[in-house]
Each structure stands twice: as structure tokens, then as C-alpha cells.
Structure 1
Amino acid sequence: MTGSAASRDPLVSFRDVDIVFGKAPERALPLIDRGASREEIQEETGQVLGVAGASLDVHEGEIVVLMGLSGSGKSTLLRAVNGLNRVTRGQVLVREGERTVNPSTCSAEELRALRRRRVAMVFQQFALLPWRTVADNVGFGLELAGVPAAERQARIEAQLSLVGLAAWAGKHVHELSGGMQQRVGLARAFATEAPILLMDEPFSALDPLIRSRLQDELLDLQTSLHRTIVFVSHDLDEALKIGSKIAIMEGGRVVQFGTPHEIVLNPANAYVADFVAHMNPLSVLRAGEVMTSVAADGNGDAARIIDAASGLAVNGNGMISLRGAHVETVRLGEAEPRRGAVALCGRDTPIRQVMQARLATGMPVLVVEEGRIVGRVGDAEIYHGLLRR
């Protein structure tokens, strides 16, 4: 239950986690080891497989998305972090300072402390108390934790301001829209100042426009709060948009865990490939993944063509010309690209930003690494990147 932890260690660690529901969960373990499916396990043992062999780490400041179809085990795994689901075999370890706590084996007192201080949760259906005001809902967890009234009020006001609901503090739940109610849920979780936030499909009940806005708001909040978030979703576009890493689950098992780029560009199997086949590639593609490579710069003043269609050329000193005439360059992120200029970017520049620069300048975008032009991105590269799946 305890152990040393350094800052580089994960904040939450899932280690070969099996979760089985039933009166005799241990009966399912040999079948899990043989790779039996959920249906086979239930037919042979009468036990229900929730999660099998799940191993992944969540580091400080990351948003890790557990995703898959309904019944894949993602919510079951999430709820093991705060002890709502008990682990049958394996460990879930939550770091607290120099030690780790296992929610499935710790004492009742330690579990209560974990839920009050370390882990907060945002539910799909908001879970707000209708007889309380917005402010009282936000402060509910603080009240349970025994936070003094003056401090509680200050933290409530700060969180309501953060989510843009300060003017609604005295209202009741039924007076708020669905999106506003979910923001109250976020404020309540943030108010506890728990470093770990569990979010179980928090936006799935909302219409697409509000959902997209709340995703953006969550990312904006994360830039200032730097919480560690485990987020459950069945929507791949949502996972790609907000996730630092994604764990795709099928039948209780994690079939691939990696960055959005790794998931989309290198699917581990046919199941993951089918998952990503119809997603929006603008969410993950970067300039370096679609560019056409160009030869390293030569020496001297002799210009070499780097884009025949436009006549762009560069000499050995890195000077860029257009059909023999000097052309202005603009580094993306430092200045707005404008017509007739050539935009420069890095390999990791999002393809959406590259497309906007291509449209604004009318020129191919050049990819620069360590001061040298290493690639170009024009219409052909953009089309190929978007359609190659």
C-alpha cells in the first residue's frame, strides 16, 4: 500500500488490473489468463468480466482518455481509481506525496481521505443537488471535508468565476441550461483542489455545439490548473482533441495505449484501424507527417528549386527567392501570414494551422528544422495527408 515515489513517477498507475463482477470472481481468473472473451467467461463461470489485464500509467498534468464502445470497460476501470469498483487482481496505485495508496486494499479511513483530498469526479448526468443553489453545489465537497466557511466561500467564488458562472451563484439547478449545469459540476470538482480528476463521459449528454465549447473550456482550464485527468469517452474525435494519451478498450482489455498521433497513424490492430478510419485527421496531423522532404541546403549562393510549381528556391545561405526575386518569410506563431509571403513552420505544427497559412499566403508552407528547410507543404501534400487513410 505504500512505497517511495519521485516526481517523475505516475500519479495513477494501473498494473495488470482485472475486475470481475459476481459472487466468485476468482473463478474467472484462469479464463482471463487464457484470453477468453467476456461471453465465454460468463457462460462458463457465471461471472461478468469488467476489465482484464489493464496496465497503463497516468503522469502529472496529463489528460488520459479511456475510450471504446459501450461495455468496453472504460468506466469500470475509471471507477477503480477512487474505489467505486474493487480490483479482483492486480493493483491501482494513486500517488500521495512519497507513498502510494491502493483504493481496493486501503483502510476505510484512507479511502475517505483519498476521495476528499486526492481524487474528484465529474459525472455524466451532472449529479447536482436540485434543492441547493449553484454556489452551494460547488461547495458541497468542501462542506463534507470540513473546510471553514470563509475559506469555502472564497474557493466557491474563485471557481464560479473560473467557469464563467459568478452571476449565477444564487440560482438553482433548474434555472440553468445543460451546459451550465455541467460547468457547475466542473467547478465543484475543481473547488476541492484535488490533483486527480475523474471525468466519466461528462459531455456526452449535451448537444454537439455545447459539447465542443465545453471541451475547449476544459482545455483552457487545464492550461492554468494543470490537473491530472482520467477522462472516459466513446467519441474518438473528443479523445483526439483533449487527450495527451488515449487507451482504446475492447471487451474489457486495453488494445492500444499511446499518444493521439500513435493511435491514428499506427493503429495496433484491425479494431483500432476501424476506429480511426472515419475520424477527422485535422485533429492530429502535423506538418512533418505530410510534408514532401527537400534536399539539404547546398553551399554558396547558387539557388536550388524547392518547389517547382511556384518557383520557390533557396540558396546555401538560406535566402528564399521566388523566380529570382527575394521573398518575405513569416514564422508561424510569431506573425500573421499574408499574401505573397512564405510561411515557415516546424515539424510539429498542426496541419490545420498549415492549411490556414497556405490559404493566406498563396504559397507552399516550408518546414524548418535547426535553421534548415527540410520540407514543403502545398496542396498536394495536404490532400494526400487528409485522404491517405
Structure 2
Amino acid sequence: MDQPVLLDCKGLWKIYGANAGTFLQGRNSSPDTSALERANLTGAVRDANLQILKGEIFVIMGLSGSGKSTLVRCLSRLIEATAGSIHFEGQDLLAMSERELIDVRRKKMGMVFQQFALLPHLTVLQNVAFPLDVQGVPRPEREARAHEMIELVGLNGRETAYPRELSGGQQQRVGIARSLVGDPHLWFLDEPFSALDPLIRREMQNEFLRLQNKLHKTIIFITHDFEEAIRLADRIAVMKDGEIVQIASPEQLVTNPATDYVEEFTRHIPRTKVIQLETIMTAGCPAGAYAGDLSHAMKVADVVSEVGQSNRPFRVLAHDGVPVGTIDREKLVSVMLGQELVE
């Protein structure tokens, strides 16, 4: 991995029921579902292992009850894990005192939830500045920072409005601004757009990507919507019955699912939405006339119209702008018809 690890989670369990902690002790292997049921226990998170890389959007997804929200609450210690380890920026999160943990949450973690949780008696400016107020930041400084965040999320002119005077999308923007005002190192978003109608949801996804392109935050994003996941994620963890069944890029999940469950989850996602040009390009760029240049990270669906109308191939450029391959109309057609095998 080229990127440094910001958060490292190993062997994490969250079990509900009497004597949950002692149940795991002295076992040579992880208990399965039947063993938990016999002990009248529920394994909400079961032996989770993951690493969050600095600057990535890491999406945790699964159906309702899969354990994704419980996992994130364990990672932030909003609830206490039953067993396992969590290291955040090299520090043992589970060994921190309550005071140390509060300090980390206030200064290094930002959180946005499905419920906007705005304080109804405070204005937009006051809501956004509230985390800094709690930290004791002087009013001029916290309000100046809050103004910056309000501008960042596109709510200029609404500083004196109260939450009841805002639309759902505007309220969520306030929640996002508030979570960013402390400049968090790790940003948690738990189904932040699922309460919004489809059009506003799409708008907020666009806004989220715009913010990430500007801020380059490390993000853990929860969703049950696979289309939302593949649109936003660098990597995705798919959960089922408290277990992480696969961690991979959106493209890898669709083209190489690890289990029947993941395959069923991804069955209806068009390959063109996830397959990148670097996966299907012809390596090398011989001399010749090209129709234009395309980024290696672009998806097939993003270039179908442009490439499909050209009789000439396009060059594919790496992240540093160096030509690394070519793509043409015939190659795209073969992918769209399912004839192109993706390794």
C-alpha cells in the first residue's frame, strides 16, 4: 500500500448478551453463528479486520442488520467493542481514557448521521460553530471558521436561518459543515443521504465528491445502496451477519465477487459503471493520430459517447499524465456486450 494506514482494526468483536466477554476467552477458533445462538448471544460484529488508508473513501455496506453501523460505532468507540484492537494514528484507541477519547473525537474525528441532529434553537452559523464552542475556541475564531465551512458547502446567505427554515438537503449541508469545522483527520458518515429524496440525494453525492476532491479527507462512509457505494468509494467492505465478507475496489467486487452473497449483491450493477479504462486498455501508445486523451481512472460509462463517435483511438493517461495505453470503439463495444474478460 502506497498510502499510510490511518486506522487499523484487527479481530474486532461486538457481542450482545450475558457474559459476552468471557465467551470468547480460551477459544482456539472464532465461534460460528450456532455457537453464539446456543449461548444466547448475538454477534453484531464478528472478527472484523480492516485498514483505513489516509485520504481514501472507504465504504462499509450491507443490508439492514448486517452490522455496518455497529462496526463504525465500535471504530469510534461510541460503543465499546467486546474484543479486538483498534489503532488510530498509531495510538491504541481502546486503551484511551474517557478524557483522551473525548479529546480525540472533538479534534480528530468528524461524524455525520442520517438524522441531521441540528440544534433547533441555534442558527446555521451557531450550529456549525458549536463543536468549536464546546472546545472553548474564542467566538471570533470559531465564527470565522464556521463562515469558511458554510461557504464551502454552498450555504452563503443562510447563516442566520434556523433549521426549521431549511430544506432537507440544506440541513444535511449544515451537518456536513459542522462535522468539518474542526478539520477532522477521520470523517465518519453513517447513511447521511438515505433520508433525502432521490434528486437531492444525487445532488448531495455530487457535493460530497466535490468536497473530497478539495479536502482529501479520510472517510468511512456507510450505505446500504450499492450504486451509491460504487459511485463514491475507493474501496468497499461488504458485510453480512456481522462479518466482513469481502474488501475490494468497486470494480473488483463486480468482476470478481468472493462469495455468492457478494455476487448477488452486485448482479444488477452494469459493468460499464465500474470498469476503469486502465483495466481494458491496450497497453502501449504507438505513434499515430489519436482522437484525444482520457484518464486511466475514468469508467467505461463515462466515455462511451465520446469514444463511440470516433473512428480513431484515444490515448489513456496515467495519474502523472504519461500515456500508458489506448482505447477504441471496438474495445468498448466488447465490454458493453460482455465479451471482454476482465481479470
Question: TM-score, normalised on structure 1?
Answer: 0.79
Deviates more, 1:11-20 or 1:25-34: 25-34
Deviates more, 1:374-383 or 1:76-85: 374-383
Shift of 1:34: 4.3
Is 1:318 aligned to 2:270, yes or no?
Answer: no
Shift of 1:223: 1.3
Is 1:23 aligned to 2:18, yes or no?
Answer: yes
Please state whether the residue corresponding to 1:109 is helix, strand or coil.
helix
Q: Deviation digits for residues 129-158 of structure 1, max 9, x if unmatched? A: 111111111111111111111110101100
Please state whether the residue corresponding to 2:95 is helix, strand or coil.
coil
Gap change, CA 1:364 and 1:270, over 3 Å in 2: farther
Higher RCO structure (Cα 8 Å, ≥6 apart): 2
Point out where structure 2 has 5 or more consecutive residues left out of the alignment: none
Aligned partner of 1:87 in structure 2 is 81
Separation (CA, whole Å) in 1 of partners of 2:269 and 2:31: 29
- Letter paired with 2:39: T
Gap change, CA 1:194 and 1:380, over 3 Å in 2: closer
Shift of 1:36: 1.2
Matches within 5 A, 1:1-389: 9-29=4-24, 33-37=29-33, 40-95=34-89, 99-102=90-93, 104-290=94-280, 318-320=287-289, 329-332=290-293, 345=294, 347-359=296-308, 361-363=309-311, 365-366=313-314, 376-378=328-330, 380-385=333-338
CA contact (8 A) 1:354 1:365 kept: no
Gap change, CA 1:32 and 1:278, over 3 Å in 2: farther
In percent, how many aligned pairs have the same letter? 35
Gap change, CA 1:78 and 1:372, over 3 Å in 2: closer
Please state whether the residue corresponding to 2:74 is helix, strand or coil.
coil
CA contact (8 A) 1:245 1:258 kept: yes
Gap change, CA 1:23 and 1:223, over 3 Å in 2: same
Separation (CA, whole Å) in 2 of partners of 1:356 and 1:238: 23
CA contact (8 A) 2:108 2:186 kept: yes
Separation (CA, whole Å) in 1 of partners of 2:315 and 2:260: 33
- Letter paired with 1:265: T
CA contact (8 A) 2:272 2:336 kept: no
Shift of 1:260: 1.4
Gap change, CA 1:137 and 1:368, over 3 Å in 2: closer
Shift of 1:357: 1.0
CA contact (8 A) 1:75 1:232 kept: yes
Gap change, CA 1:220 and 1:368, over 3 Å in 2: closer
Bigger Rg over Cα: 1
Shift of 1:319: 2.9
Separation (CA, whole Å) in 1 of partners of 2:119 and 2:29: 43
Separation (CA, whole Å) in 2 of partners of 1:134 and 1:371: 47
Gap change, CA 1:375 and 1:200, over 3 Å in 2: closer
Question: TM-score, normalised on structure 2?
Answer: 0.89
CA contact (8 A) 2:272 2:335 kept: no
- Letter paired with 2:83: R
Please state whether the residue corresponding to 2:157 is helix, strand or coil.
helix
Please state whether the residue corresponding to 1:80 is helix, strand or coil.
helix
- Letter paired with 2:303: V
